[in-house]
A = this chain, B = another copy of it.
């Protein structure tokens, strides 16, 4: 916090960091824009629907869903309210534990995610994989895993598919 530490960034590191920072800002924004434009939902809402679509009975407890979708319980609660109003999700008390709430994907919700996923995956491919050589794609996998492990050590692999 004070004075010059012995580890500033070299020119090359700075160039790398600037490029990465741009990706960190623009890529999520671009993905959100695509979803908003084509489906009228946020990336987090997409994740919620996607996680439910891949779960047994298309149903998950709110607490589990929050972890898989990568958000807080509060955030999920707000979003679930909207998704329920839209008719894509239904919430019912967990019969096995009265405290819990089960979120279930409705048929309309399933159609929504089925209609939305291909376009979203296509966007991911176009923005992330297409600009890279096959070798770089593999390098990015290793690099991403290393940074992810550092930044979020106990981040259970967030699960299954999604896009």
Given contacts A9-B121, A38-B1, contact A22 B148 (CB under 8 A): yes
CA distance A18 to B68 in the complex (A): 12
Whether A64 sits at the interface, judged by CB under 8 Å, is no
**A-side interface residues, number (CB < 8 Å):** 66
Binds B, one of A55-63, A79-87, A91-99, A130-138: A130-138
Q: Are B16 and A141 in contact (CB under 8 A)?
A: yes
Contacts of A121 in B (CB 8 A): 5, 7-9
Contacts of A119 in B (CB 8 A): 1
Number of identical monomers bound together in the oligomeric complex: 2
Could you say which of B18, B116, B151, B162 contacts A21, with CB atoms under 8 Å apart? Answer: B162
| Cβ contacts A131-161/B at 8 Å (1 or 0 each) | 1100011111111111111111001011001
Given contacts A24-B28, A122-B7, A152-B26, contact A13 B145 (CB under 8 A): no
Q: Are A144 and B16 in contact (CB under 8 A)?
A: yes
| Cβ contacts A91-130/B at 8 Å (1 or 0 each) | 0000000000000000000000001101101101111111
Q: Are B9 and A125 in contact (CB under 8 A)?
A: yes
Contacts of A70 in B (CB 8 A): 25
Could you say which of B5, B38, B132, B147 contacts A122, with CB atoms under 8 Å apart? Answer: B5
Q: Are B155 and A146 in contact (CB under 8 A)?
A: no
Give 3 closest A-B pairs by Cβ, nearest first: A19-B144, A16-B141, A22-B148
